[in-house]
Amino acid sequence: MSTGAHEYFGGPHAEVNCIDRVDAEIKKEDLTLFCTLEPCNHTGKTPPCTEKIISSGIKKIVIGVVDPNPLVSGQGIRKLKEAGIDVKVGVLEEEIKSSNEFYFFKHENKRPFVTIKIAQTIDNYAADNNGKPIKITSEKSNHDVQNIRALHDVIVTGGNTLRNDNPTMNARVDFVANQPKRILLSSEAKADLKLNFFKDDHFQIIDDVDLKKVVQIIYKQNFNSILVEAGPKLVESFLKDGLCDRLISYQSPEPLGNEGISWSAVLNIIEKNGFNLTSSYTIDRDIKRVFIND
């Protein structure tokens, strides 16, 4: 038995890695190849997987689901069948789509999946009145956020968050992960390139207030998912423009204790716009809530 995965962006696809790891003494025509997504039949960063499968001598393949990417959709299956390979399609489709939700969403909706993450005190504040950052959530919640970052292709934030918090906005995880690209919505002239956000060249500055246009710019770069980590004003703008598919809230049991920058307008939009609470549980002393926009 052999297994394979697409281990890094631009690297060999899962089918290629799987076939290359088969013991050379085993007759490949006796094997069945199981794939989650339809093998590609076009040249991108790598050659077509169909060519590798056909040349290997494998005679049977089981494909979980047709790839929604128009560059692939149906073409890989047709090529394999034309080569005389026994192809079965449609096994555990819903499970595969769920585990690849960002990829399927992008191709079905022609834009990336947008997740918004907020952290709030028990009295719904994000910061004090002058924008000075406050420690809201526990270390365990902060660690959970790192895992969420690692799942997304892009992190979007605004200038106020950068100036007030000076965040690094990378995924600090203990497993191999592609670091999300960091995107700042601001004019380049206002960007202080000495901040942590600009510590390497894996960032982009987009100077546009039209968020739908911004999301399309990101979509055209072939990214599947966006994580928005920003202050209440920018988050509210994403919500008003209908650009939120999932909102994750971390709420501390501690109050700010005085007036500050509030999440109230954001929380009102969530309540009024039909967001469904899909999970709520405790992480250390905090409550993590996940809302889905159906």
CATH code at position 63: 3.40.140.10
Residue 3 falls inside a structural domain? no
**pTM of the full predicted structure?**
0.92
Phi, psi of 131 (to 5 degrees): 85, 0
Would you please indicate which residues are annotated as catalytic (active-site) residues?
15
The region that residue 255 occupies, defined by phi over 0 for left and psi between -120 and 50 for alpha, beta otherwise, is beta
Buried b (16+ CB within 10 A) or exposed e, 221-256: eebbbbbbbbbbebbbbbbeeebbbbbbbbbbeeeb
- Say if residues 161 and 231 touch (Cβ distance below 8 Å): yes
Dihedral sign of CA atoms 262, 278, 155, 143 in order = positive
Tell me: do 146 and 283 sit in the same domain.
Answer: yes
Out of 97, 120, 145, a domain closes at 97
Same domain, 241 and 287: yes
Domain count, the chain: 2
**Single residue among 97, 121, 141 that ends a domain in this structure:** 97
> Which residue do the tokens 């077509």 mark?
48
Q: Which tokens sit at 185?
A: 């919505």
**Calpha distance 58→17 (Å, rounded):** 14
Does residue 6 belong to any structural domain of this protein?
no
Q: Residue 130 has which token pair? A: 């002058």
Residues 147 and 226 in one domain: yes
Residues 177 and 269 in one domain: yes
Give the domain extent around 36: 14-97
In a domain, 139, yes or no: yes
Q: How far apart are CA 35 and CA 114, in angstroms?
A: 27
112: domain CATH number is 3.40.430.10
Among residues 97, 114, 149, the one where a domain terminates is: 97
pLDDT digit of tens for each residue in the chain (294 aa)?
789 888 877 788 999 999 989 888 788 888 999 999 999 998 878 889 999 999 999 999 999 999 999 989 999 999 999 999 999 999 999 999 999 999 999 999 999 999 999 999 999 999 888 777 788 999 999 999 999 999 999 999 999 899 889 999 999 999 888 899 999 999 877 788 999 999 999 999 999 999 999 999 999 999 999 999 999 999 999 999 999 999 999 999 999 887 889 999 999 999 999 899 999 999 999 999 999 998
